[in-house]
């Protein structure tokens, strides 16, 4: 994991970072299930969830990144990320 000083970023990179952060936060959490497909419940009876794993390299390089996520909406900043970071 890389850590960067947000205040040292250029305005363009701060904008890109904010868009990436918003995009990642939009992902739903994965529900934990047993090998038999039954939901795992916590001590209060709520289904246990975990953060979804995101393969960002595959997303950036994909011609249809939303298909990898099971979503049908194309986000306009994905090409910008390829241009900015590649």
Average pLDDT over residues 17-37: 85
What's the pLDDT at 46?
A: 95
Q: Look at residue 56 and tell me if it is in a domain.
A: yes
Q: Look at residue 1 and tell me if it is in a domain.
A: no
Return the higher-pLDDT residue of 70 and 76: 70
Q: How far apart are CA 69 and CA 82, in angstroms?
A: 18
Average pLDDT over residues 15-32: 84
Q: Which domain holds residue 67?
A: 7-85
| Helix count and strand count (H, E) for the chain | 4, 2
Q: Look at residue 47 and tell me if it is in a domain.
A: yes
């Amino acid at each position: 994991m890389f850590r960067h000083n947000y205040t040292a970023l250029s305005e363009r990179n701060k904008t890109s970072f904010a868009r990436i952060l918003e995009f990642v936060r939009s992902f739903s959490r994965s529900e934990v299930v047993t090998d038999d497909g039954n939901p795992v419940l916590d001590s209060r009876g709520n289904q246990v969830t975990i953060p979804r794993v995101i393969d960002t390299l595959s997303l950036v390089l994909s011609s249809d990144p939303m298909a990898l996520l099971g979503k049908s909406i194309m986000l306009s900043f994905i090409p910008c990320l390829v241009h900015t970071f590649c």
